[in-house]
């Protein structure tokens, strides 16, 4: 699943503006390109981390569901659903939260650290929800345990009536990160896992994480995954 989702098997050329649009295995493994066809851009290391923590949540008996905020083509969420299928988990649900139309334009008045953020200008990041559904279906993993929360996080996440064992944040910007963690961390079970995809790559995302941790007295050890991804275990 890891190799299929990231497509290191066939090595599709990327669509980002910095790699020369030529497949390079080391960049794909570390999630430093935007694949043309692969179902995730997070690379093998962060995808393996997502799988591992989903498995730990199950084997450790951490109650709750799985959620990703910012799903792109769905690869990491598909991996979480695949873990549930492999372990015969029918009670846990997977929530895919995304605008499915790209990232929001910077709101510099409320979130000044996003002032120069350019993510909203990349049409490559706008993946329609129907495409993500088809990607789940391609792995025979689309069923009534998969939920799509379509819209901006500030509008969709507060309405979700669910608790979580794994929360994966991949919203890039300060706004998207802080809005997601403020709603979801209180719903993360003690002993559950919080993953942040853009911690190393986007300073504004990293600041949002530390602002929330500082405001709420969170001192759980932050573990690195690769050059950008991190995770921690919520204190019991």
Domain of residue 216, CATH code: 3.40.50.150
Per-residue pLDDT, 98 = 98
Helix (H, G, I), strand (E, B) or coil at 94: strand
The answer to whether residue 11 is domain-embedded is no
Residue 37: count other Cβ atoms within 10 Å of its Cβ: 12
| Residue numbers of the chain with a pLDDT score lower than 50 | none
Q: Flag whether 1 is in a domain.
A: no
Q: Is residue 198 part of a domain?
A: yes
In a domain, 66, yes or no: yes
Cα distance from N-terminal residue to C-terminal residue, the chain: 31
pLDDT at 76: 98
| pLDDT at residue 236, as a whole number | 87
Quote the pLDDT of residue 3.
97
- Confidence at residue 144, expressed as pLDDT on a 0 to 100 scale: 97
Q: Is residue 18 part of a domain?
A: no
User: At a CB cut-off of 8 Å and minimum separation 6, what does 3 contact?
Assistant: 9, 44
Residue 84 DSSP symbol: H
Residue 130 and residue 145: Cα distance in Å, rounded? 17
Q: Residue 23 falls within a domain, yes or no? A: no
Q: How many domains does the chain have?
A: 1
Q: At which residue do the structure tokens 């993510």 appear?
A: 119
Q: Quick one: pLDDT at residue 96?
A: 98
Q: Which two tokens stand for residue 84?
A: 């549930």
Give the domain extent around 130: 45-233
Specify the pTM: 0.97
Residue 68 lies in a domain: yes
């Amino acid at each position: 699943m890891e190799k299929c989702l990231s497509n290191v098997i066939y090595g599709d050329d990327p669509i980002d503006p910095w790699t020369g649009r030529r497949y390079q295995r080391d960049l794909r493994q570390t999630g430093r390109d935007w694949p043309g066809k692969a179902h995730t851009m997070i690379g093998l290391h962060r995808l393996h981390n997502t799988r591992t923590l989903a498995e730990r949540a199950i084997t450790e008996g951490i109650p709750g569901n799985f959620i990703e905020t910012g799903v792109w083509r769905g690869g990491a969420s598909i991996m979480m659903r695949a873990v549930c299928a492999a372990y015969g988990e029918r009670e846990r649900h997977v929530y895919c939260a995304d605008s499915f139309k790209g990232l929001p334009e910077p709101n510099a008045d409320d979130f000044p650290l996003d002032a120069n953020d350019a993510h909203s200008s990349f049409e490559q990041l706008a993946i329609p929800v129907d495409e993500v559904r088809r990607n789940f279906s391609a792995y025979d993993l689309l069923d009534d345990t998969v939920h799509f929360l379509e819209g901006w996080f500030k509008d969709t996440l507060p309405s979700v009536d669910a608790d979580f064992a794994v929360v994966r944040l991949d919203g890039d910007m300060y706004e998207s990160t802080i809005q997601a963690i403020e709603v979801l961390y209180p719903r993360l079970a003690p002993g559950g896992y919080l993953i942040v995809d853009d911690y190393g790559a986007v300073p504004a995302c990293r600041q949002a994480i530390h602002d929330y941790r500082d405001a709420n007295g969170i001192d759980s050890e932050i573990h690195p995954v690769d050059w950008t991804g991190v995770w921690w275990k919520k204190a019991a």
